Amino acid sequence: MMKINKKSVVVATAALVLVGAGSAFAYWTTTGSGTGTATNASSNGVVVLHATFANGLTPGASEAVTYTGDNAGTSSLNVGTITPVVSVDAAHSTCLAADFVATTVTSNTTLAHNTSGVALGAGTLTFTDTAVNQDGCKGAVITITASSN
What confidence tens digit (pLDDT) does each residue in 28-86 have? 788 888 888 787 767 778 899 999 999 999 999 999 999 999 999 999 999 999 999 99
Which residues, including other chains, have CB under 8 Å from residue 80's CB and lie 6 or more apart?
106, 107, 108, 148, 149
Instruction: Phi first, then psi: give them for residue 3, nearest 5 degrees.
Output: -100, 130
**Sequence-distant (≥ 6) Cβ neighbours of residue 122 within 8 angstroms:** 64, 65, 66, 67, 105
> What are the extents of the domains in the chain?
48-148
Residue 102 contacts residue 87 (beta carbons within 8 Å): no
Express each pLDDT in 108-120 by its tens digit.
999 999 999 999 9
Classify domain 48-148 at the CATH topology level: Immunoglobulin-like (2.60.40)
